[in-house]
Structure 1
Amino acid sequence: MGKQAGLPHISRRLSTPAALALGVLFGMLVSRLFPWTATTPGWRSNHVPPKSHQQSRQPIQLPTLEQRARVLNLLTSLSPHYTKECTRNAQPLYIQQATERYAALIGHKGPSSGSWFSRFFADDADSHGRSSRKDLVPSDHKYFFAINLYNSFDIIPDLFATLFRVSAILGYHNVFVSIYENGSTDQTKALLRIFDALTRSVGMRITIRTSMRTRGAFNHRIEYLAEVRNAAFVPLHELRDAENEYFDTIVFMNDVLPCVDDILELIYQSRTNNAGITCAADYMYHDEIGAPVFYDNWVARDINGTALENAPFERIFHHAESAQRFQRHLPVQVQSCWNGIAVLDPEPFYTPPHVRFRMARITEGECSASECSLICNDYWEAGYGRILMVPRVKLAYDRKVFDIVHPPRRNLTAIRGYARIGGLPDDPRSDPQDRAWFGPHDRLFTEEESQPLEFVPGPSHVWCWGWDGAGDLDGPDVDPIWERVSNKSMRPDAVKVRHDRSIPKI
C-alpha cells in the first residue's frame, strides 16, 4: 500500500515539461526496442518519391474500386444541379456510341464484371453494367486539369463530381488537378477543403491553392486575369522541374457545369485533330430575346478573324461555311476561342518561347485583347494554330441555361399528330429531337463528327476590342480595330501537326 501511494507522490514532484520529456524518451526507447513495420503495402501518388512513405506509421492503402465507388456516389449525391442527370436516361444507341467512341481514352484496367465507364451512362449505378473490354491496353496519356474559381460555391459539387468521374475513366494516375481560388466572399474556400479531402481519399492528385487577393482599383484587369490563370499552372512547371513529370494534354476549366461526356468529347476532338486548342460553346440567357445566346464573343473569332455574335445559333458565325458546320453540330476551325473549357496541347508551355497567359504589349502597339485571345495568337505564332470549336458541347454557367440547352428527351410517338417523315428512328439526321439545336444531351453522333478537320492557315487581320482600363469597367473600353497578326500565322506551317497526341486505333 505504501509503495502504491509513493508513485503519485513522485509524479506530483515532477514538473509538466519534465514529465513530457520523460514520456518522449520512454517512447523513443520502446520504438527502438520494438521497431514498427507495416503489414500492408502503402500507396503513394505517382509524383511522390518511393522512400517518402517508407517510415510512415499510418500507411495509406490503395483504395479499392468499391471504396472509390462509394465516394463517387457521395460526390454525386452532393450535387445540387442536374449534371448527374446528363446521361442517366440516355437512349441505348447513344450509350453504345459513346462507349465505343471513348473506349481508347480509358486509363485503367476494368474490373472483372461491370465497367465503371458504362455505369456513367446507365440508369442505375448498380445495374445495367456492361462488360469491360479485355483487349484494351490502358492509356498512359497524362492530363493536367487547371481551374480558376471565384465565388463558385454553387457549382463546386457538380464540378468535382464530374472531375471524379472523368478521372475514373482516364485513370487516377494519369490525372493531376490544380485549382486556384482567390478573393471569394462566399463559402467557396470551406467547400473546397471538403472536396479536397474526398478526392484525395480515392487517390486523385490535386492541389488547391486559395488566396484573399482581389484586383485592385488601379490594376489592369487583363494583367490581373493573366496572373490568376498562370497561378493555376504553377504545379505544371513544379512537377516538370522537381519530378521530371510531363503532361500530354491540358484541360483548362472555368466555373461551368459540364457533363462527363462533354469533357470526354473535347478531349476526343482535341486528340483526333491534334489540335493546339479545342473549345466548347458556352451560352448565357438573353432577357430581350428570351432565350440563350452564344456568350464568349469577346474571345471567339472565326477563321476569317471576325468576332462571333451574342446571338441565337443560326446567327453566331459570319463565315458561311463555319455557320453551316456549326448548325449541324460539326467541329469548326476558328482563329481563337475559349468558351468555358479549353483543351490545350501543352507543348508550347514546355518548349521555347514558352507560351503563358499575358496582357498585351501595349507599348509595342499590340491591341489590349483578352488574355485568352492573346494565348490563341501566341499558339499561332508558335506553330500550333490548329484551333477548333466543338458545337456539340454546350456549356452553361447556371441552372436556367443548363435546363434549356439540355432538355429531356421525349417520346414523340406519344404526342398527338406526330408522324415520322422518312428516315430511320435512330438516324440523327431525321429525328426531330436530334436535329433541334437545343436538343437532348444524348444526341446521336454522325459520321462527320469523327472525321478530322482540314485546317487552313490563319487570317491576316483579327477583329480586336481593346480593354485599357483600370477601375470597375466590366467590358472593352476601346473602339474595336482590325489588327494585323503575325505573318507566321498565315503560313502552312502554322497548322502543321507538331506534337502527335492522336488516339490509338482499337
Structure 2
Amino acid sequence: MAGKGALARRIPTSLALAIGVFIGLIVSRFFPWTSSTATHTWRSNHIAAKPHQHSRHPIQLPTPDQRLRVLELLTSLSQRYTRECMRNTQPFYAQQILERYSSLAGHRWRSSAQNSWWSTFFGDDERAQAVLSTPSEHKYFFAINLYNSFDVIPDMFAALFRVAAILGYHNVYVSIYENGSTDQTKALLRIFDALTRSVGMRITIRTSTRTRGAFNHRIEYLAEVRNAAFVPLHELRDSENEYFDTIVFMNDVLPCVDDILELIWQSRRNNAGITCAADYMYHDEIGSPVFYDNWVARDINGTALENAPFERVFHHSESSQRWQRHLPVQVQSCWNGIAVLDPEPFYTPPHLRFRMAKIMEGECSASECSLICNDYWEAGYGRIMMVPRVKLAYDGRVYDIIHPPRRNLTAIRGYVRLGGLPDDPRTDPQDRSWFGPHDRLFIEEESVPLDFKPGPKEVWCWGWDGAGDLDGPDVDPIWEPMSNRSIVSNAVRIRHDRSLGL
C-alpha cells in the first residue's frame, strides 16, 4: 500500500487533472446530468433552437392539480378584485377573449383540468382544448417595483399567477425589487415567493432597506430603482444566453388577468415600442375618478394630457375621439401603471437604461418614464400607444367606481335583446359609458393595427430640478425641442417583429 501511495504522489498534478476531466467527459456522455422530462429549452427570437440546449436551472413543470391548489390558496389570501373581475362574465365576452388571447397561450391544454378556473376564464373546456393546441414560445420578463405595497401584493400575485399559467410558466420570468418599505411588504413577499416557486414559476425578489436620501435627486433615485428591477434581465442574458421578447413593467396597481393580456396582445399586434394602460385617481373636488399620470403622458402633438374626466383628457381632437370610443391611441409618451416594452433597445445599441435628464446639457428634467419614451423615439422605436380599455386603479375605492357591476338587463348574461337582436357593444348603454363593467365587449376597431405617425417637433415638459424637493415639478413648463430622429418616418417603422401571426 505504501508503494502505491508513493506512485500516486509521483503523478504530476496537471496529468491527474487531465485524467479526471477525461473520465468526467466519458461519464457525462453516457449519463447526462438531467433527464429529458425535467428540462426545457429556453428560446427566443435571438437564439436558434438546439437539440441539446439546456437551462442550467431546469424546472419541473407543475401539474394542473398543483396549479389549481396554489391558485386557490393565492385567491384566499387576496382581496376581491382579481378574484371577482373574471367571475360571471358575459358568455359573449368569454368567447371573445378565448379567441383573442389563444395565440398568447404557452402550453398545451390538459383535459384533466376539468371544472378548473380555466373554464371560468376561457369558457367551455372542450372549446379551449381545441383552440389552445399550439403553444407559443414567446418569452416575457415582468419587472415590478414595490414600496409599502402590503395591500396590493395578494391581488398582484394572484393576477401574475393566472397570467403566467396562460403564457406558460417556462415563458415567464418575474423580477421584483422592493426597497424602503415600512409596513409588512417584505414579509408578505416571502410568502408569495414560496407559493409561486412551488409550482415552477420563475421569480427573483430582491429587497433593500434603501430609501431616497434627503439630497438625492428624485428622478435619479427612481431611475436607479427601476433599473434594479431589470438586473435579472441582463444576468440571464450574460449567464444563460437567455433573451426575452417582451417586457411588462408594472407599478403597484390592481390589474385583472385580461388587463395584462390585452396590453400584451395590443403590443404584439401593433409591434409597439411601448404600450400603456390608463390609470385613475379620485378627484375630491369633482367627486369622481380622473386620469392620473399626466406628468408623463403626452399626446402625439406633444401636449400634456389632463387630470380630468374622460371627455377632456386629450387636447388632440382625433385622439380624443378614439379615446372616448375605447380605441387604442398613439401617443408621444405614457406609462400609466403598466407599460409593455419591446426589449430590443435594452439588448442592442443604444442599450437603454432608465435615467435622469442631462440637465447640464440643457435637457428638461422630466420623469424617468418620459425620458425612456424620448429615448425610444431616438432609437427608432417610437411606436408608442395607450389602450383605454385597460383601466387601472391603485386602491379599491377607485377600482369599484371605474368597474361597476353590469346592471343592464338587456345584456344580462347572454340573453338576447327584445326582438331577438344579439348583444351589441355599440348600443349597450354600459358598454358605451366610460366607467363600465369589466366584461365590456370588444368591437372590431379595437383589433385594427394603428397607423403610426412620426413624433412631434416639441414636447410640453415640466422640469424637476431641485434635489430634495418632494412636492412635484419645480420649474416652469416649456416646449422642449425633440431630436430630428424622432420626427421622421423611420422612427416608427417596425424594427423588431413580435407579431402574433394572425
TM-score (norm 2): 0.86
Question: Structure 1 residue 425: deviation in Å?
Answer: 4.2
Instruction: Tell me which residue corresponds to 1:331.
Output: 328
Whole-angstrom CA distance in 2 between matches of 1:64 and 1:296? 41
**Residues 145 and 177 of structure 2 are in contact (CA less than 8 Å); yes or no, is this contact kept in structure 1?**
yes
2:384 alignment partner AA: I
Change (3 A) 1:394 1:129: farther
Whole-angstrom CA distance in 2 between matches of 1:293 and 1:190? 33
| Secondary structure of 1:133 counterpart | helix
Question: Structure 1 residue 489: deviation in Å?
Answer: 0.4
2:309 alignment partner AA: P
Whole-angstrom CA distance in 2 between matches of 1:128 and 1:136? 12
Whole-angstrom CA distance in 1 between matches of 2:327 and 2:378? 26
Instruction: Tell me which residue corresponds to 1:400.
Output: 397
Change (3 A) 1:214 1:317: same
Whole-angstrom CA distance in 2 between matches of 1:98 and 1:40? 37
| Secondary structure of 2:371 counterpart | helix
Whole-angstrom CA distance in 2 between matches of 1:38 and 1:457? 53
- Residue by residue over 1:127-178, the C-alpha shift from the partner in whole angstroms, topping out at 9 and shown as x without a partner, is 9775412673200000000000000000000000000000000000000000
| Secondary structure of 1:121 counterpart | helix
In the TM superposition, what are the counterparts of 1:164-179 in structure 2 within 5 Å? Answer: 164-179=161-176
Change (3 A) 1:131 1:227: closer
* Pairing 1:245–2:255 present: no
| Secondary structure of 1:471 counterpart | coil
**Residues 41 and 55 of structure 2 are in contact (CA less than 8 Å); yes or no, is this contact kept in structure 1?**
no
Whole-angstrom CA distance in 2 between matches of 1:472 and 1:313? 31
Instruction: Tell me which residue corresponds to 1:71.
Output: 70
Instruction: Tell me which residue corresponds to 2:104.
Output: 105
* Pairing 1:208–2:205 present: yes
In the TM superposition, what are the counterparts of 1:112-191 in structure 2 within 5 Å? Answer: 112=111, 118-121=118-121, 130-133=127-130, 136-191=133-188
Instruction: Tell me which residue corresponds to 1:12.
Output: none
| Secondary structure of 1:255 counterpart | coil
Equivalent residue in structure 2 for 1:257, among 247, 254, 261: 254
1:156 alignment partner AA: I
| Secondary structure of 1:102 counterpart | helix
**Residues 271 and 496 of structure 2 are in contact (CA less than 8 Å); yes or no, is this contact kept in structure 1?**
yes
Change (3 A) 1:283 1:414: closer
Question: Structure 1 residue 112: deviation in Å?
Answer: 2.1
Whole-angstrom CA distance in 2 between matches of 1:262 and 1:62? 25
Change (3 A) 1:61 1:306: closer
Change (3 A) 1:62 1:380: closer
| Secondary structure of 1:323 counterpart | helix
| Secondary structure of 1:216 counterpart | coil
**Residues 425 and 431 of structure 1 are in contact (CA less than 8 Å); yes or no, is this contact kept in structure 2?**
no
Q: CA RMSD in A?
A: 2.6
Whole-angstrom CA distance in 2 between matches of 1:135 and 1:289? 46
Instruction: Tell me which residue corresponds to 1:29.
Output: none
Instruction: Tell me which residue corresponds to 2:286.
Output: 289
2:252 alignment partner AA: D
Change (3 A) 1:215 1:85: same
**Residues 275 and 386 of structure 2 are in contact (CA less than 8 Å); yes or no, is this contact kept in structure 1?**
yes
Instruction: Tell me which residue corresponds to 1:57.
Output: none
Whole-angstrom CA distance in 2 between matches of 1:193 and 1:150? 15
- Residue by residue over 1:467-492, the C-alpha shift from the partner in whole angstroms, topping out at 9 and shown as x without a partner, is 01222423111110000010000000
| Secondary structure of 2:182 counterpart | coil
Whole-angstrom CA distance in 1 between matches of 2:435 and 2:106? 32
In the TM superposition, what are the counterparts of 1:198-237 in structure 2 within 5 Å? Answer: 198-237=195-234
1:504 alignment partner AA: G
Question: Structure 1 residue 421: deviation in Å?
Answer: 10
Q: Which moved more, 1:113-122 or 1:441-450?
A: 113-122
Whole-angstrom CA distance in 2 between matches of 1:74 and 1:351? 41
* Pairing 1:372–2:369 present: yes
Whole-angstrom CA distance in 1 between matches of 2:343 and 2:55? 30
| Secondary structure of 1:132 counterpart | helix
- Residue by residue over 1:254-279, the C-alpha shift from the partner in whole angstroms, topping out at 9 and shown as x without a partner, is 00000000000000000000000000
- Residue by residue over 1:80-108, the C-alpha shift from the partner in whole angstroms, topping out at 9 and shown as x without a partner, is 23221111010000000000000000000
| Secondary structure of 2:130 counterpart | coil
Change (3 A) 1:485 1:378: same
Change (3 A) 1:471 1:453: same
- Higher Rg: 1
Whole-angstrom CA distance in 2 between matches of 1:202 and 1:65? 10
Instruction: Tell me which residue corresponds to 1:412.
Output: 409
Whole-angstrom CA distance in 2 between matches of 1:369 and 1:197? 38
Change (3 A) 1:135 1:405: closer
Could you tell me which runs of 5 or more consecutive residues in structure 1 were left unpaired when the two chains were aligned: 1-36, 55-59
- Residue by residue over 1:351-400, the C-alpha shift from the partner in whole angstroms, topping out at 9 and shown as x without a partner, is 01111100000000000000000000000000000000000000000000
**Residues 271 and 499 of structure 2 are in contact (CA less than 8 Å); yes or no, is this contact kept in structure 1?**
yes
2:85 alignment partner AA: C
- Residue by residue over 1:278-303, the C-alpha shift from the partner in whole angstroms, topping out at 9 and shown as x without a partner, is 00000000000000000000000000
**Residues 45 and 203 of structure 1 are in contact (CA less than 8 Å); yes or no, is this contact kept in structure 2?**
no
* Pairing 1:385–2:382 present: yes
| Secondary structure of 2:129 counterpart | coil
Could you tell me which runs of 5 or more consecutive residues in structure 2 were left unpaired when the two chains were aligned: 1-31, 43-52
Instruction: Tell me which residue corresponds to 1:468.
Output: 465
* Pairing 1:497–2:469 present: no
TM-score (norm 1): 0.86
Instruction: Tell me which residue corresponds to 1:28.
Output: none
1:89 alignment partner AA: N
**Residues 461 and 478 of structure 2 are in contact (CA less than 8 Å); yes or no, is this contact kept in structure 1?**
yes
1:168 alignment partner AA: A
Instruction: Tell me which residue corresponds to 1:316.
Output: 313
- Matched residue count: 458
Whole-angstrom CA distance in 2 between matches of 1:213 and 1:423? 62
Change (3 A) 1:234 1:46: farther
**Residues 114 and 130 of structure 1 are in contact (CA less than 8 Å); yes or no, is this contact kept in structure 2?**
no
Whole-angstrom CA distance in 1 between matches of 2:34 and 2:316? 66
1:327 alignment partner AA: Q
1:153 alignment partner AA: F
2:78 alignment partner AA: S
**Residues 108 and 132 of structure 2 are in contact (CA less than 8 Å); yes or no, is this contact kept in structure 1?**
no
**Residues 356 and 368 of structure 2 are in contact (CA less than 8 Å); yes or no, is this contact kept in structure 1?**
yes
Moved over 3 A (4+): 37-47, 49-54, 113-118, 127-131, 420-425
Identity %: 79
Change (3 A) 1:423 1:333: farther
Question: Structure 1 residue 118: deviation in Å?
Answer: 4.0
Change (3 A) 1:69 1:340: same
**Residues 106 and 171 of structure 2 are in contact (CA less than 8 Å); yes or no, is this contact kept in structure 1?**
yes
